[in-house]
Amino acid sequence: MRLPQTALAVLAIPVMAALVVAGGRAVKGHESTIAVDQIDPDALADPGTETPPEEPATSAIPAPAAPQPPVHSRAIDPETVAPPALSDNQLERVEPRAPLSDLALAGPPKPPKTKMPGDWNGTKLFQPVATAAGLIESKGYAVAVSGVDVVKADETCSDEGKSWACGARARTAFRAFLRGRAVACTVPPEGGRHTISAECHIGNQDIGQWLVENGWARAAQSGPYVEAESKARTARKGIFGPAPSLDGLPAPPAASGPAPVAPDSILPADGGAVTPPTDQPAPAQ
């Protein structure tokens, strides 16, 4: 049933199109043309009045405006872009400026300038360790305080025929003086394996002066602390004084347990038999 209906609908489409075209042609043929009569303006005018002269048709066209100067986008734009003409006599060639840094150069950077001993400034040595009275180690430096003779840690001194460990005592006093303080010494920028003799200070205090005047070091010959050593000897300070008193220290603890038996305490008895001591058991037979 659907197939005949579809065929009829397809055939009806061209028929309807033909009808529409035919109707359009019929309507176009019946259009009427309207004629408009031209009215003479002279017939309408009053013959007793004068007609004013007609203005030319071009009077209604506005005159062209005068050309305006070009407007720049910015007020600072110069009117003349081209540079002024200069003669060769007014030009002068100058040397190029130096680069702002070595990174702009094509070659490798220059090595750092080596500082001479006269240019060394005070280098801060934190947490210094005194290995002896007058020797300091810190940050890879081994510094001997200049102007003094170092008192070694194993040195001994004599007082009224008695020997005492004055080197260890001087080192202990020097460690107590340096504890928790930063030392400034005139040393090179980098430390080395060898010991460096340098002047050292803690604030405004000269370390060499303190060591000698307190008797914990001897002054070097022809050094700046000879007079300070003479005063320390006269006052019997430090290593130039008496041995420290040990009376206030507690006595060493006594050995506990039975006393050892000497080899000669076991003597042969009559007949060659060995008699053991009374505090030991007899050996088993």
Stated as kind and residue range, the H or E segment containing 93 is: none
Residues 6+ apart with CB under 8 A from 256: none
Specify the pTM.
Answer: 0.47
Calpha distance 127→129 (Å, rounded): 7
Which tokens go with 74?
């910015």
Calpha distance 117→227 (Å, rounded): 28
With H, G, I as helix, E, B as strand and everything else as coil, classify residue 172: helix
Calpha distance 133→152 (Å, rounded): 7
Task: State residue 222's pLDDT score.
Answer: 86
Task: State residue 227's pLDDT score.
Answer: 94
A 10 A CB-CB count for 28 gives 8
Task: Determine phi and psi for 141, rounding to 5 degrees.
Answer: -100, 145
Calpha distance 163→165 (Å, rounded): 7
Q: According to CATH, what is the number of the domain 120-240?
A: 2.40.50.90
Task: Determine phi and psi for 57, rounding to 5 degrees.
Answer: -65, -20
Pairing between β-strand 141-145 and β-strand 196-198 as defined by DSSP bridges: parallel
Per-residue pLDDT of the chain (285 residues; tens, 9 = 90+): 577 778 777 778 887 888 877 777 766 655 545 555 555 556 555 555 555 556 555 555 666 777 776 665 555 555 656 666 767 677 778 888 887 776 666 666 666 665 555 555 678 889 999 999 999 998 888 999 999 999 999 999 988 888 899 999 999 999 999 998 999 998 877 766 788 899 999 988 999 999 999 999 999 998 899 999 999 999 999 999 888 876 655 655 665 555 555 444 444 445 444 455 555 555 554
A 10 A CB-CB count for 173 gives 17
Radius of gyration (C-alpha) of the chain in whole angstroms: 62
Q: What residue spans define the domains of the chain?
A: 120-240
Calpha distance 143→129 (Å, rounded): 10
Task: State residue 15's pLDDT score.
Answer: 79
Start-end of H helices in 179-241: 207-213, 226-235
